[in-house]
Structure 1
Amino acid sequence: MSLYTFFGCLLVAYGPILSIFFLYIGQNAQYVLLMVSSAFFCLIALLISSVIWYFAKAAQLIHSASIAYSIAVQEIFRWLFFLLLRRSEAGLNVVSANPHSPLNQSIFSFVTGFGYALTTALVSYISLLVESIGPGVMMCPSCPQATTFFISAATTSIFSLLHITWMMIAFEGFSSVRKPAGAARVAWVIVSHFGASYATLLNSSETIRYGCVYAIIICIGILSFSTALVAYSLKSRYQLAHPHSS
């Protein structure tokens, strides 16, 4: 049964992002390079968070504090990667399939968001996934009917999609951060990142019954709204590229 659990959780956690890679990103060398670059930035952010956690002895058992500085470091490196990509955007457009397309920035942000998503998914869940092979079973404290392996797999899958939408919204906001709409997008990314991350604390709560269900609902709600923002931005850019289309 443990082997079935392993492959089931593997597909739940990594199925969506692996599908995106093999069907879209893996077929373009430029996208693969962008993905690896953003994954490297995300890995540095996670490494710095780990160093902070190691030296902050007093806060090691306070999960809310660990989440706070980890998200802050990730968002700072998201902004730094945007600055790097902005400087190389002209060259990336030249070698892209459609050099003059207004959708290129959205495509680049999607690919770099995938790099963030893949890195965080591997780092946060791979060790727990390996433990699912063992003879023991870890039940979720807030949902005793479900295993921690499955709840964490579902959370990992949702966060993978969230990181993609967050990157696309953040890049749109950084490009026009001096405008109210741009600043609002950046604020939404930061606030929703904190909200979704803190919602996962409900999974380990022993006082809130079905806390894992509430956590997943909150994350799906944030994902839905973020997806709507991305769809609106893509629609605006498409109308800019095809002004005479109906």
Structure 2
Amino acid sequence: MTVMEFFGCSFLAFGPPLAMFAITIAKDPIRIIIMIASAFFWLVSLLLSSILWFVVIPLRTVLVFGLVFSVFFQELFRLLFYMLLRKAEFGLRRVSEEETHVTNNRQVLAYVSGLGFGLMSGAFSLVDVLADATGPGTMDLYDGSEYFLVISAATTLCFILLHTFWGVIFFSALDHKVIWQVVFVVAAHLVTSCITLLNQNQHYVLTLVGIYLILIVTTIITFKVAGGSLNSLKRGLMWRPATTINVTAN
């Protein structure tokens, strides 16, 4: 049973992001390099926030303190990675096999870097929980909810998708100097992270409802930032593959 729970939660949290990686990134080595680099930047932000948490001894037991500064460090390194990509854009244009992969559509860079941030964030937040869930029994929840693992997996999936969408919004906002979108990304990241503090009191339903509502709002904004509209959505929903009709003369 524990093995089934392990694989079920793993597929719930990482199934859609890995499918996104396989379909949109795996075939392009440049995109893979960019995703790995963005994941490294997220790791560095985690390292610096951990050092700050370790240095400020009186606030080690205050969870909100570490959470807030972790969010700010992540967004700071998202900005630094954006600046690095813009500096390296000419070099990427030279080594890219197809120019449209990297240079003509900057939203691809934002999407790939956001997914790298999200996958690394998700791995760090859930791997330890999954390791404890493999058996021989389930992890000690201290009279907690039996749905803890499923809730953790669903939360991880939400954050991976949010990081991906935040990357698109953040990069586009910096390209077009739309300040409110930058503020939205930072504020949404901060609010979403703070909502997870409700899990301390086992308010899992409130946590999931809150973060997935933010995900819906973020998805809508990302859709508009990427150039989507109601007309394009309708055309996409109404699209049908062309069929060939063979007519045989008698």
- TM above 0.5, one fold? yes
Q: List aligned pairs for 1:1-246, cutoff 5 A.
A: 1-94=1-94, 95=96, 97-99=98-100, 104-134=105-135, 135-139=137-141, 144=145, 146-177=146-177, 182-205=178-201, 211-235=203-227
Corresponding residue SS for 1:27: coil
Quote the Cα distance in structure 1 between the aligned partners of 2:172 and 2:109: 11
Moved over 6 A (4+): none
Question: What TM-score do you get using the length of structure 1 for normalisation?
Answer: 0.85
Residue type of the partner of 1:219? I
Q: Is the 8 A contact 1:140 1:148 kept in 2?
A: no
Q: Which has the larger radius of gyration?
A: 2
The one-letter code matched in structure 1 to 2:213 is: G
Per the TM alignment, residue 43 of structure 1 is displaced from its structure 2 partner at its CA by 0.7
Gaps of 5+ in 1: 238-246
Percent identical among aligned pairs is 30
CA RMSD of aligned residues (A): 2.3
Q: CA 1:82/1:96 → structure 2, altered by over 3 Å: closer, same or farther?
A: farther
The structure-2 alpha-carbon separation of the partners of 1:4 and 1:58, relative to structure 1 and needing over 3 Å to count, comes to: same
User: How many aligned residue pairs are there?
Assistant: 228
Q: Distance in 2 between matches of 1:228 and 1:91?
A: 33
1:102-159 Cα shifts (integer Å, max 9, x gaps):
8611011000111101111111111111001131344597x73x43221111100000
Render the CA deviation track for 1:30-74: whole Å, top value 9, x for unaligned: 100100111111110011111122222222221111110000111
